[in-house]
Structure 1
């Protein structure tokens, strides 16, 4: 769990994903379209991915991927991120965390 927290706090925007997850791909694309360059951790391609997935679940990430952290804080999964984008607050969160500049 400490490794997940450490990785999540190193960059302004961090997304834990799996390469085979279509929602993970959609969330990554959304961040790129907003001008962010999130740090991506593909759990299925990391030697410690299974342990990190369990740690994410322990932190309340349900489902475990995509798990989005902005400014070192867990923001949510795909459903939460899409809701934040629709109501316009995702962009402001990224600006506040200095993941994008406008």
Structure 2
């Protein structure tokens, strides 16, 4: 859990993903299209990936990826992020965290 929190707090937007996950790809693409440059942590390519995946599940992220943090705060998985985007609050969250400037 400590590693997840440490990585999640290092950048304004952080996404924990798996390289083979289509929803992870979609969420990363959404962030890039909004002008954010999130830190991406591919759990299937990290030696501590399984431990981090368990920690993400303990936070309530099920499925465990994608897991999105904005401003060091756990936002949720793809369903949560898409809901925030649809209601317009995702962009404001990214602005408030200084992940985007416009």
Secondary structure, counterpart of 1:69 in structure 2? strand
Q: Which residue of 1 aligns with 2:89?
A: 89
Deviations 1:65-97 (A, max 9, x none): 000000000001000100100010000000000
The CA RMSD measured in Å over matched residues stands at: 0.5
Q: TM-score, with normalisation over the residues of structure 1?
A: 0.98
Provide the C-alpha distance between the structure 1 equivalents of 2:11 and 2:32, rounded to a whole number of angstroms: 15
Q: TM-score, with normalisation over the residues of structure 2?
A: 0.98
Unpaired runs of 5+ residues, structure 1, are none
Does 1:67 pair with 2:67?
Answer: yes
Unpaired runs of 5+ residues, structure 2, are none
Secondary structure, counterpart of 1:5 in structure 2? helix
Residues matched between the structures, number: 102
Provide the C-alpha distance between the structure 1 equivalents of 2:45 and 2:73, rounded to a whole number of angstroms: 23
Does 1:5 pair with 2:5?
Answer: yes
Provide the C-alpha distance between the structure 1 equivalents of 2:56 and 2:12, rounded to a whole number of angstroms: 18
